[in-house]
Amino acid sequence: MSSARRTSARLMVIGVAASLSLLVACRGGASGRVTSGADGEALAVVSEKENPWFAAAISGSDAALNAAAASGAPMNVVAGRTRRTPLHYAANVGNAGAVRFLVSRGAGVNTVDRDGRTALLLACSGGKGPASLALLEAGADPNVRDRDQATAIMFASRTGQVDAIRALMSRGANINAQNVNGKTALIFAADQGQGESARTLLQLGADPKITDSKGRTALVYATAENRPELVRILGGQ
């Protein structure tokens, strides 16, 4: 075989190998790679059962976290099924201590999962106030949106996390942002009966006149759900 043909054959083999690697990544294979980071960085796809960081993030114990660190296993990786990092897992269960531990060792705070959610969005949606605050202190993006265009302040408002609402606003959150259905943080608070959230949002500049995609304001929601306290907060009769 000529030198030119041997070179061509090698390039073909390399190309096939690269294509197979990409296919594994797209299917979530244990050794693949997937683009998950906020800046488009490629993260390895692993099994959460084989990487000690996931269990450590859930438990939040010092012993488990230190053992994971000593294991030498990579931390900025994503689980194949959910595309979540260990930081996502810590935020989802509200382990603020684990959040701080992971961040101090370089965990990416703005990496998104399969649904476009960062650790901050998970913490806020689950009502995990301390974890939400820890992530904001670590520089989490206060205006990131998931695939439904929901933001952290929307989640914090509907779960009654007043401290998180204030922290988000102090870091530049858009208080009047709307999701795919046109709902704002104030509308979520009214719909879920979160009076303190609504009061705080109004104090911080939320616009009560904004309507959702069906023309409904926060007051309309409060009235429809028979929430007299919220009706009073929102200026209804």
Give me the pLDDT at residue 32, please.
59
- Judge whether 110 lies within some domain: yes
- Judge whether 218 lies within some domain: no
- Judge whether 72 lies within some domain: yes
Amino acid at 92: N
- Judge whether 105 lies within some domain: yes
Give me the pLDDT at residue 42, please.
82
- Judge whether 168 lies within some domain: no
- Judge whether 226 lies within some domain: no
* Residue 120's CATH number: 1.25.40.20
Question: Considering its fold, how many domains does the chain have in total?
Answer: 1
Give me the pLDDT at residue 27, please.
37
Q: What is the pLDDT of residues 116-171, one digit of tens each?
A: 999 999 999 999 999 999 999 999 999 999 999 999 999 999 999 999 999 999 99
Domain enclosing residue 84, as ranges: 36-141
Give me the pLDDT at residue 26, please.
36
Predicted TM-score of the model (pTM): 0.84
- Judge whether 118 lies within some domain: yes
- Judge whether 101 lies within some domain: yes
Residue 174 near residue 135, CB atoms below 8 Å: no
Give me the pLDDT at residue 34, please.
63
Could you give phi then psi for residue 66, rounded to 5 degrees?
-65, -35
Q: Is pLDDT of 29 > 50?
A: no
| Torsion angle, alpha carbons of 124, 128, 131, 135, to 10 | 0
